[in-house]
Chains A and B, each alone.
Chain A
Amino acid sequence: MGTRERLLLLVVLGVAPALVTLATFALSFQRAEQVRFCADCHTMTPWVNDLHNPNSKSLAAMHFSNRWILNDQCYTCHADYGFLGPITTKLGSLRHVAIYYSGIGMPKQIQLRKPFPNSNCLQCHGPAANFKSNPAHAAVMKPLLANQLSCVTCHQPIHTPTG
Chain B
Amino acid sequence: MPNLITVALITVGLGFLLAVPCIVETTPITMCLFFFLSIPLFALGFLSYVAAVILDLRQHQVL
* Residues of A bordering B, CB below 8 Å: 1, 6, 9-10, 12-14, 16-18, 20-21, 23-24, 27-28, 31-32, 37, 40-41, 94, 97-98, 100-101
Contacts of A94 in B (CB 8 A): 31, 35
Contacts of B35 in A (CB 8 A): 94
Check if A20 sits within 8 Å of B16, measured CB to CB. Answer: yes
Contacts of B29 in A (CB 8 A): 40, 101
Query: Once the chains are docked, how many angstroms separate the CA of A12 from the CA of B23?
Result: 19
Check if A21 sits within 8 Å of B42, measured CB to CB. Answer: yes
* Residues of B bordering A, CB below 8 Å: 1, 5, 8-9, 12, 15-16, 19, 22-23, 26-32, 34-36, 38-39, 42, 45-46, 48-49, 52-53, 56
Min CB–CB distance B35 → chain A (angstroms):
6
Specify which of A9, A12, A20, A101 lies most central, judged by the most chain B CB atoms within 10 Å of its CB. A20
Query: Once the chains are docked, how many angstroms separate the CA of A24 from the CA of B52?
Result: 28
Check if B26 sits within 8 Å of A13, measured CB to CB. Answer: no
Q: Which of A1, A24, A97 contacts B32 (CB 8 A)?
A: A97
Specify which of A14, A16, A24, A31 lies most central, judged by the most chain B CB atoms within 10 Å of its CB. A24
Do A24 and B28 contact each other (CB < 8 Å), given the known contacts A9-B5, A13-B12?
A: no
